[in-house]
Structure 1
């Protein structure tokens, strides 16, 4: 599953990132924010406009806004059968 397909409030782990589709400076910024293989992520909110951009992503104790095109480069491990929801 790709990150942009993850339901809001459900936790998953990043299994792979296709760095080749991201510009080098944007990939460097994402890594600096902790977006990398093995990180646990949750989608907190999606944008309200056409395309649902940006996506607010919880990673660790931070909330990071990323573009949907970046989220499509991130592959997740299958989420747990019982999703963790955020109140």
Structure 2
């Protein structure tokens, strides 16, 4: 595994990254793939909810909210 990869939930607000690895499985993995989170997809962290979880991400032209638990299973490389 590349040491430059970080879990998506550690991506600072306003920063962009490329999806590199999905470590989830089952229905959660299927949902992530259906949302377009495939290799080299660009993701931008937009804003946190008032409680800090979930976080809104800009993914393929849509704004998607992901909980920290889900985002931690998506490894990205900052760009």
Fold agreement, TM-score > 0.5: yes
Q: Distance in 2 between matches of 1:27 and 1:15?
A: 14
Q: Give the equivalent residue in structure 2 for 1:27.
A: 29
Larger radius of gyration: 1
Q: Give the equivalent residue in structure 2 for 1:83.
A: none
Q: So what's the TM-score if we normalise by structure 2? A: 0.83
Structure 1: 5+ residue runs without aligned partners? Answer: 81-87
Aligned residues: 74
Q: What pairs up with 1:3-42 in 2 under 5 angstroms? A: 3-20=8-25, 24-42=26-44
Q: Give the equivalent residue in structure 1 for 2:3.
A: none
Structure (1 or 2) with the greater strand fraction: 2
What is the aligned-residue RMSD (CA, Å)?
A: 1.2
